[in-house]
Amino acid sequence: MNLLLYSAFSFISKTSKAMYAITGATGNVGKVIVNELLAKGKNVLGISRSADKLESLMVKGAAPLVGDLTDVAFVRKSFDGATAVFCIIPLNAQSKEPRKDQQTIARNYVNAVKENGIKHVVLLSSVGADLRNGAGVIDGLADMEVYFSELKDVNVLILRPAYFMENILNQIGIIKQMGMMGSALKGDLKIPMVAAKDVAAVAAKHLLNMNFKGQTVEYILGQRDVSYNEIATHLGKAIGKPDLKYVQFSYADAKKSMVQSGAISENVADFLNAMSEGLNNGKINSNHKPSSNNSSPTKLEEFAEDFAKTFGGSVLA
């Protein structure tokens, strides 16, 4: 048994207080949740596929656990002893069957929750999951919602955040190589966008309070709706390129760009294009409305400053 695995299971066996199992612990959402829980003195098990990234959380007091979420035995053991869990489905960008992989992870979560008698679960889903089909990568999250709906004796909170601002970071390579921004999304399409840290704050609050009952859904829609044309204006100003423009790619060109990068499989590119199409035709954002209850604080202008720091420090610079 490797050191990280041993320390995690030793931690689980010794703790007598409530323990939180956080999947995707090194991601933009998960790492913020882990830090929030640790700051409150909670016992936290951080689950990730990356041992290196878990080291920083281990230093802060989290128990690290490295493994494959498609492995049902690993997930079952990961949730053993947990009082509450946070479930996220990381996208395998190289997958040849992305939805099947998502379904496998979702089923593993359900089985682990059931077998370990866990009563409180927070799921990271997405706007558009209510459609169940036709939203590309979001469809796998919809499957997870359906699977968990079968657990009648478990309190499940489904978080449906809007389009993540962090997705804009994918534009760094395009800007540096082509001097512009571009994707399959319409340039003038205004959609809700939310910062990952704001989603994490909501999740952490509910995990700490554990005040949700039955099956509930909560939307997180950001500070305001924005378009990629508007994003280009703010990012251009932040990175010293005031003439930065956004160009809408055809779906074929968007797929070609994603696949040629070598980081994304053809099937995942199709999956992402299907999400873009769902956003473009308005279906994904058709069944919710912004309100004071589902807004979050981070503004695009603030994110633009963070983008500029990443852009300046990118290995592509």
User: What does the pLDDT look like over 194-227, one tens digit per residue?
Assistant: 999 999 999 999 999 999 999 999 999 999 999 9
Q: What is the pLDDT of residue 6?
A: 40
Neighbour-count burial for 20-37, b at 16+ CB within 10 Å, e otherwise: bbbbbbbbbbbbbbbbbb
For 248, phi then psi, to 5°, come to -80, 125
Dig out the tokens for 280 from the structure.
């473009």
pTM (global) more than 0.85: yes
Q: Give how far the C-alpha of residue 245 lies from the chain's centroid of Cα atoms, to the nearest Å.
A: 27
Residue from 45, 86, 35, 87 nearest 66 by CA? 45
Residue by residue, pLDDT tens for the chain (317 residues) are 344 544 454 455 444 466 999 999 999 999 999 999 999 999 999 999 988 889 889 889 999 999 999 999 999 999 999 999 999 999 999 999 999 999 999 999 999 999 999 999 999 999 999 999 999 999 999 999 999 999 989 999 999 999 999 999 999 999 999 999 999 999 999 999 999 999 999 999 999 999 999 999 999 999 999 999 999 999 999 999 999 999 999 999 999 999 987 889 999 999 999 999 999 999 999 888 889 999 999 999 999 999 999 998 654 33
Q: What is the pLDDT of residue 317?
A: 33
**Eight-class DSSP state of 250:** P
CA distance 221 to 125: 13
Q: What is the pLDDT of residue 56?
A: 87
Dig out the tokens for 278 from the structure.
């769902």
Neighbour-count burial for 130-164, b at 16+ CB within 10 Å, e otherwise: bbeebbbbbbbbbbbbebbeebeebbbbbbbbbbb
Q: Which runs of consecutive H residues, i.e. helices, occur in the chain?
A: 3-14, 30-39, 51-60, 72-78, 98-116, 138-149, 172-178, 196-209, 228-238, 251-260, 266-280, 300-313
What superfamily in CATH does domain 3-163+195-220 come from? NAD(P)-binding Rossmann-like Domain (3.40.50.720)
How far, in Å, are 170, 191, 260, 312 from residue 181 at the CA level?
10, 17, 17, 16
- Helices (H) and strands (E) in the chain — how many of each? 12, 12
